[in-house]
Amino acid sequence: MKLIIASNNKGKIREYKQILEPMGFEVMSQSEAGIDLEAEETGTTFKENAAIKARAIFDMTSCAVLADDSGLAVDALGGEPGVYSARYGGLATSEERSQLVLEKLKDVPEDKRSAHFICCIHLILSDGRELTVEGRCSGKIGYEPVGENGFGYDPIFMYGGQSFAEISAEEKNKLSHRADALDKLIKKLKEIDI
């Protein structure tokens, strides 16, 4: 089944392809599908933003579309950056946004640095049916960026003794918030007739 991912984020697209293509999906980014659209994320939750993005692409194509909205929620920061993860502090790069999180946590002790990645996936099937799931991965914020893999906040998000930027793509694809959401989505898809 042809499936458009409502994103051009190379890291995200790579993860979706690695997870979904072995299941028989023909996964493509919106640019690979010839779509030049950046839906305005006006929602106040990950769920709302994922639905906005999926519906914008579906309305143009009537093709199956998967959109997600994901981000980092740091407990000591009241859930920030949350839905504003991609534009936190009005900063341009992931490195700058990660540094802002680290700066805000500079005096926060180890036991208060808990955080979790959240991923909400909204899928619209080619017949218009819609499914939504949410996945999470809990960890903590480290003290400095470490690792060369991953993207976004991965270098400061510690899972066990490593950052998300230190583990392999295969390992991350098994335990990440996106993997958790995809597992839930796959279970839902098996329950319905597609």
Domain boundaries, the chain: 2-191
Average of per-residue pLDDT values in the chain? 92
Tokens for 55? 């519906």
In tens, the pLDDT along 7-23 reads 888 878 888 888 788 87
Q: Which residues are catalytic?
A: 69
**Counts of helices then strands in the chain (DSSP H, E):** 5, 7
**Reduced to 3 DSSP states, what percent helix, strand and coil does the chain have, rounded to the nearest 5?**
40, 25, 35
Q: Higher confidence at residue 146 or residue 21?
A: 146
pTM: 0.87
Mean pLDDT, residues 154-173: 92
Identify whether the C-beta of residue 164 lies closer than 8 Å to the C-beta of residue 176: yes
Which pLDDT band holds residue 194 (cuts at 50, 70, 90)? Answer: low
Token code pair at residue 179: 């993997």
pLDDT exceeds 90 at position 49 = yes
User: Taking phi first (over 0 means left), then psi (-120 to 50 degrees means alpha), and beta for anything else, what does residue 163 get?
Assistant: beta
Contacts of 90 (CB under 8 A, 6+ apart): none
pLDDT surpassing 80 at residue 148: yes
**CA-based diameter of the chain, in Å?**
52
Residue 41 pLDDT class (50, 70, 90 cuts): confident
Higher pLDDT, 77 or 7: 77
Q: What is the DSSP string of 149-169?
A: SS-TTGGGEEETTEETTTS-H
Which pLDDT score, from 0 to 100, does residue 11 have?
Answer: 78
CA 114 to chain centre: 18
Nearest to 62 by CA among 5, 126, 133, 145: 126
Q: What percent of the chain has pLDDT over 90?
A: 72
pLDDT of residue 47 exceeding 80, the answer is yes
In the chain, % of residues over pLDDT 70: 99
CATH fold label, 2-191: Maf protein (3.90.950)
CB 158, CB 139: distance < 8 Å: yes
